[in-house]
Structure 1
Amino acid sequence: MKITTDDHSRFFRYASKCLKYFLIVIFGFAIAYIMSLCFGILHIAVMLLPLVGSWFWRVGVLLLCLLAMAVIVESLR
């Protein structure tokens, strides 16, 4: 019996890696928001939140579509 650890396509690995880094960035922004709340500079975070939130929404939808395409390609393979 042959055990392979690399049985996914490059497209699926790329989509998974993009999702991983996207979630790390969201986690980092959440920590930065909490830190700004603790240090009392919440007014800067409140100004940036709508801009960053709209970008996160768009990139999240794009990554969701990318992952859906990767799952479909993987299932057809």
Structure 2
Amino acid sequence: MMHEDLVKQQDQQIDEINEIALRLHNHANIINTELKDQHVMIEKLSGEVYEKLEKKNFVMKKIWKLLKTNGNF
């Protein structure tokens, strides 16, 4: 009887470990999805920042040229 109880207890522990592993797997999938979504947002933001910097540099060059033309520099 003691052997059967031990086997039953081990089976229960294995079932619990399996449930924990499944929950961890589900959490990992959720985190992975969130990271992918954030990666897309960061890539978009990076492109927008680059675009704004390019526009700022263009304007700064025009201002610099204007100031040089007017003899301020």
TM bucket (normalised to shorter chain) is: 0.3 to 0.5
The structure whose Rg is larger is 2
Q: TM-score, normalised by structure 1?
A: 0.43
Higher helix proportion, which one? 2
Q: TM-score, normalised by structure 2?
A: 0.45
